[in-house]
Amino acid sequence: MQFSSWRWNRIIAFLGGAGLLFWVPWSGLSPVLPEWTIDVLRSVPLGLCVYGFTEQPRNVIAMVPAGTALGVGILALYRAFGFGLF
């Protein structure tokens, strides 16, 4: 198997996503940013890891972190207005 036949964009996406998954908790951003922002930031490396593992196109995989960010944002708004969902 030749190196040129490997899917380097998916390999790099997986390695970058895995690295960012470990970097976000140790980055020191937790005291500075709200908790929901850290949760949104964790969804981006997850999307990169999913893109590295699957054969789905980028626009389909981009919906994973976008949907997570939207859901976390809506939940943060509910909490800000005093609605206790969880």
Q: Quick one: pLDDT at residue 15?
A: 92
Instruction: Express each pLDDT in 52-63 by its tens digit.
Output: 888 888 888 889
Q: Give the per-residue SS3 of 13-77.
A: HHHHHHHHHHHHHHCCCCCCCCHHHHHHHHHHHHHHHHHHHCCCCHHHHCHHHHHHHHHHHHHHH
Which sequence spans correspond to the domains of the chain? 3-80
CA-to-CA distance for 61 and 65, rounded, in angstroms? Answer: 8
Tell whether pTM > 0.85. Answer: no
